[in-house]
Amino acid sequence: MPPRLKLFLPLILFLVLAAFLYRGLSLDPMAMPSALIDRPLPEFRLTELADNRPLERDDVIGEPALFNVWATWCISCRVEHPYLQQLADSGVPIYGINYKDEDEAARRWLQDLGNPYRANIVDREGTLGVDLGVYGAPETYLVDADGIIRYRHVGVIDERVWRDTLEPLWREIAALESTP
Amino acid sequence: MIPEFGHFALIIAFCLSVVLCTVPLWGAWRGNATAMALAPNLALGMLVFSAISFACLTWAFMQDDFSVQVVANNSNSLLPAQYKFSAVWGNHEGSLLLWILILAVWTAAVALFSPQLPLVMLARVLAVMGFVAVGFLAFSLFTSNPFARLLPGIPADGQDLNPLLQDFGLIIHPPLLYMGYVGFSVAFAFAIAALLGGRLDAAWARWSRPWTNVAWAFLTLGIMLGSWWAYYELGWGGWWFWDPVENASFMPWLAGTALVHSLAATEKRGLFKSWTVLLAIFAFSLSLLGTFLVRSGVLTSVHAFATDPARGLFILVFLGIVVGGSLVLYALRAPAVRSRVGFAWLSRESLLLVNNVVFLVATLTVLFGTLFPLLMDALGQGKYSVGPPYFNAVFVPLMALLMPFMGIGPISRWKQDSVSRWRAELLVPAIATLVCAITLPLLYEGDYNVWVALAVLFAGWLVFGLLRDLGNKVRNASSIGAGLRRLAPSYWGMFTAHIGFAVAVIGVVLTSQYHIEHDLKMSPGDTDSLAGYDFRFVSVGQVRGPNYVADEAIFLVFRDGREIAEMAPQKRRYLASGDVLTEAAIDAGVFRDLFVAMGEPIGSDGAWAIRLHYKPFVRWIWGGPILMALGGFLTVADKRYRRQRSAARESNREGAVHAAQT
The pLDDT tens digits for A46-59 are 889 888 888 888 88
Could you give phi then psi for residue B515, rounded to 5 degrees? Answer: -70, 150
Question: What's the alpha-carbon Rg for chain A, to the nearest Å?
Answer: 20
Instruction: Note whether A29 contacts B300, CB cutoff 8 Å.
Output: yes
Distance of alpha carbon B71 from alpha carbon B403, whole angstroms: 48
Instruction: State the pLDDT at residue B445.
Output: 76
Q: Read off the pLDDT band of B656 (50, 70, 90).
A: very low
Q: Which residue of B has its CA nearest to A1?
A: B336
Instruction: Note whether A137 contacts B609, CB cutoff 8 Å.
Output: no
Instruction: State the pLDDT at residue B659.
Output: 39
Distance of alpha carbon B40 from alpha carbon B62, whole angstroms: 33
Which among B178, B171, B231 is positioned nearest to B621, based on CA atoms?
B231
Instruction: Note whether A21 contacts B374, CB cutoff 8 Å.
Output: yes
Q: Any bridge partners for residue B615, and if so which?
A: B593
B386 interfacial to chain A (CB closer than 8 Å): no
At a CB cut-off of 8 Å and minimum separation 6, what does B537 contact?
Answer: B522, B523, B524, B525, B526, B527, B528, B553, B554, B555, B608, B610
Q: How confident is the model over B352-380, as a mean pLDDT?
A: 87
Distance of alpha carbon B247 from alpha carbon B253, whole angstroms: 10
Residue B240 lies in a domain: no
**Of chain B residues 509-528, which have a CB less than 8 A from chain A?**
519-520
Distance from CA of B210 to the nearest CA of A (A): 26
At a CB cut-off of 8 Å and minimum separation 6, what does B118 contact?
Answer: none
Question: What's the alpha-carbon Rg for chain B, to the nearest Å?
Answer: 27
Distance from CA of A54 to the nearest CA of B (A): 27
Count of pairs with CB atoms under 8 A, one residue in A, one in B: 125
DSSP per-residue letters across B376-413: HHHTTS------HHHHHHHHHHHHHHHHHHHHHGGG--
In this complex, the residue of A3, A25, A85 whose CB is nearest that of residue B312 is A25
Exposure b/e, B313-322, CB count within 10 A at least 16 = b: bbbbebbbeb
Tell me if the bond preceding B152 is cis, omega within 30° of 0.
Answer: yes
B611 interfacial to chain A (CB closer than 8 Å): yes
Bridge-based pairing of strands A120-123 and A94-99 is parallel
Exposure b/e, B476-493, CB count within 10 A at least 16 = b: eeeeeeebeeeeebbbbb
Instruction: Note whether A27 contacts B374, CB cutoff 8 Å.
Output: yes
> Is residue B573 classed as helix, strand or coil in its secondary structure?
strand
Number of structural domains (chain A) is 1
Distance of alpha carbon B401 from alpha carbon B396, whole angstroms: 9
Instruction: Note whether B297 contacts A4, CB cutoff 8 Å.
Output: no
Residue B99 lies in a domain: yes
Instruction: Note whether A7 contacts B336, CB cutoff 8 Å.
Output: yes
Higher pLDDT, A154 or A14: A14
For residue B611, CA distances in Å to B240, B557, B561, B569, B608 come to 19, 14, 22, 10, 10
The residue type at B523: S
**Of chain B residues 74-113, which have a CB less than 8 A from chain A?**
none
Q: How confident is the model over B423-440, as a mean pLDDT?
A: 90
Q: Read off the pLDDT band of B558 (50, 70, 90).
A: very high
The pLDDT tens digits for B267-310 are 888 888 889 999 999 999 999 988 877 776 666 554 444 456 67
Query: Average model confidence (pLDDT) for chain B?
Result: 87
A1 interfacial to chain B (CB closer than 8 Å): no
What is the separation of C-alpha B38 from the centre of its chain, rounded to a whole number of angstroms? Answer: 32
Which among A39, A64, A58 is positioned nearest to A143, based on CA atoms?
A64
Question: What region, left, alpha or beta, does residue B520 occupy, with left being phi > 0 and alpha being psi -120 to 50 degrees?
Answer: beta
Number of other CB atoms surrounding residue B4 within 10 Å = 11
For residue B97, CA distances in Å to B91, B468, B582, B603 come to 10, 48, 30, 48
Instruction: State the pLDDT at residue B574.
Output: 84
Instruction: Note whether A26 contacts B302, CB cutoff 8 Å.
Output: no
Q: How confident is the model over B368-389, as a mean pLDDT?
A: 76
Could you give phi then psi for residue A49, rounded to 5 degrees? Answer: -65, -45
Instruction: Note whether B297 contacts A78, CB cutoff 8 Å.
Output: no
Instruction: Note whether A24 contacts B331, CB cutoff 8 Å.
Output: no
Which among B534, B476, B506 is positioned nearest to B623, based on CA atoms?
B506
Instruction: State the pLDDT at residue B650.
Output: 47
The residue type at A47: T
Distance of alpha carbon B119 from alpha carbon B28, whole angstroms: 9
DSSP per-residue letters across chain A: --HHHHTTHHHHHHHHHHHHHHHHHHS-TTPPPGGGTTSBPPP-EEEETTT--EEEHHHH-SS-EEEEEE-TT-HHHHHHHHHHHHHHHTT--EEEEEES--HHHHHHHHHHH----S-EEEETT-HHHHHHT--SSSEEEEE-TTSBEEEEEES---HHHIIIIIHHHHHHHHHHHH--
> Is residue B240 classed as helix, strand or coil in its secondary structure?
coil
Instruction: Note whether A20 contacts B378, CB cutoff 8 Å.
Output: yes
Three state DSSP letters for B34-55 = HHHHHHHHHHHHHHHHHHHHHH
Residues of chain B contacting A157 with CB distance shorter than 8 Å: none
Higher pLDDT, B340 or B330: B330
Residues of chain A contacting B282 with CB distance shorter than 8 Å: 10
Distance of alpha carbon B107 from alpha carbon B42, whole angstroms: 10
Quick check: B564 pLDDT over 60?
yes
Q: Of the residues B128, B151, B166, which one is the last residue of a structural domain? A: B166
Instruction: Note whether B298 contacts A108, CB cutoff 8 Å.
Output: no
Instruction: Note whether A112 contacts B373, CB cutoff 8 Å.
Output: no
In this complex, the residue of B298, B383, B609 whose CB is nearest that of residue A21 is B298
CA angle, residues A123, A127, A132, in degrees to nearest 5: 100
Could you give phi then psi for residue B319, rounded to 5 degrees? Answer: -55, -45
**Of chain A residues 151-170, which have a CB less than 8 A from chain B?**
154-155, 158-160
Instruction: Note whether B609 contacts A112, CB cutoff 8 Å.
Output: yes
Q: Read off the pLDDT band of B383 (50, 70, 90).
A: low
Residue B333 lies in a domain: no
Distance of alpha carbon B349 from alpha carbon B336, whole angstroms: 19
Quick check: B581 pLDDT over 50?
yes
**Of chain B residues 199-258, which have a CB less than 8 A from chain A?**
234, 236, 238, 241, 243
For residue B214, CA distances in Å to A112, B248, B463, B570 come to 45, 19, 23, 38
For residue B5, CA distances in Å to B11, B45, B62, B67, B135 come to 10, 16, 16, 15, 21
Taking a C-beta distance cutoff of 8 angstroms, is the pair B365, B395 a contact? yes
Residues of chain A contacting B377 with CB distance shorter than 8 Å: 24, 27, 29
Number of structural domains (chain B) is 2
Residue B552 lies in a domain: yes
Enter the DSSP assignment of B149: B
The pLDDT tens digits for B86-138 are 999 888 889 899 999 999 999 999 999 887 889 999 999 999 999 999 999 99
Q: Any bridge partners for residue B225, and if so which?
A: none
Distance of alpha carbon B543 from alpha carbon B562, whole angstroms: 28
Q: Of the residues B600, B619, B638, which one is the last residue of a structural domain? A: B619
Q: How confident is the model over B23-27, as a mean pLDDT?
A: 94
The residue type at A140: T
Exposed, middle or buried by CB within 10 Å (0-12, 13-18, 19+), for B374?
buried
Q: Any bridge partners for residue B68, and if so which?
A: B149
Q: Read off the pLDDT band of A135 (50, 70, 90).
A: low
Question: What region, left, alpha or beta, does residue B578 occupy, with left being phi > 0 and alpha being psi -120 to 50 degrees?
Answer: left
Instruction: State the pLDDT at residue B600.
Output: 74
Q: Read off the pLDDT band of A164 (50, 70, 90).
A: confident
Range of the domain at A55: 3-178
Instruction: Note whether A11 contacts B599, CB cutoff 8 Å.
Output: no
B608 interfacial to chain A (CB closer than 8 Å): no
| Selected residue of B251, B294, B600 to mutate for chain A interface (largest A Cβ count, 10 A) | B600
Instruction: Note whether B302 contacts A25, CB cutoff 8 Å.
Output: no
DSSP per-residue letters across B483-516: HHHHS-HHHHHHHHHHHHHHHHHHHHHHHHHH-E
The pLDDT tens digits for B167-196 are 888 888 889 999 998 999 999 999 999 999
Q: Where are the beta strands (DSSP E) in B93-181?
A: none
Range of the domain at B145: 1-166
Q: Which of A128-142, B51-65, B311-325, B566-580 has the highest mean pLDDT?
A: B51-65
Distance of alpha carbon B296 from alpha carbon B231, whole angstroms: 26
Q: Any bridge partners for residue B552, and if so which?
A: B541, B570
Instruction: State the pLDDT at residue B432.
Output: 92
Number of other CB atoms surrounding residue A16 within 10 Å = 10
A35 interfacial to chain B (CB closer than 8 Å): no
Residues of chain A contacting B312 with CB distance shorter than 8 Å: 25
Could you give phi then psi for residue B599, rounded to 5 degrees? Answer: -90, -120
Distance from CA of B454 to the nearest CA of A (A): 26
**What is the value of pTM for the model shown?**
0.82
Q: Which residue of B has its CA nearest to A8?
A: B331
Quick check: B491 pLDDT over 70?
yes
Residue B140 lies in a domain: yes
Quick check: B59 pLDDT over 70?
yes
Distance from CA of B511 to the nearest CA of A (A): 18
Instruction: Note whether B300 contacts A154, CB cutoff 8 Å.
Output: yes
The residue type at B147: F
Distance of alpha carbon B618 from alpha carbon B588, whole angstroms: 9
**Of chain A residues 71-130, which have a CB less than 8 A from chain B?**
73, 75-76, 78-79, 82-83, 85, 108, 111-114, 130
Number of other CB atoms surrounding residue B516 within 10 Å = 13
Residue B539 lies in a domain: yes
The pLDDT tens digits for B247-267 are 889 999 999 999 999 999 888
Higher pLDDT, B176 or B574: B176
In this complex, the residue of A7, A20, A24 whose CB is nearest that of residue B334 is A7
CATH code, domain carrying A12? 3.40.30.10
DSSP per-residue letters across B171-227: HHHHHHHHHHHHHHHHHHHHHHHHHHHT--SHHHHHHHHHHHHHHHHHHHHHHHHHH
DSSP per-residue letters across B265-324: HHHHH--SHHHHHHHHHHHHHHHHHHHHHHHH-SS--TT-----HHHHHHHHHHHIIIII
CA angle, residues B129, B132, B137, in degrees to nearest 5: 120
Instruction: State the pLDDT at residue B190.
Output: 94
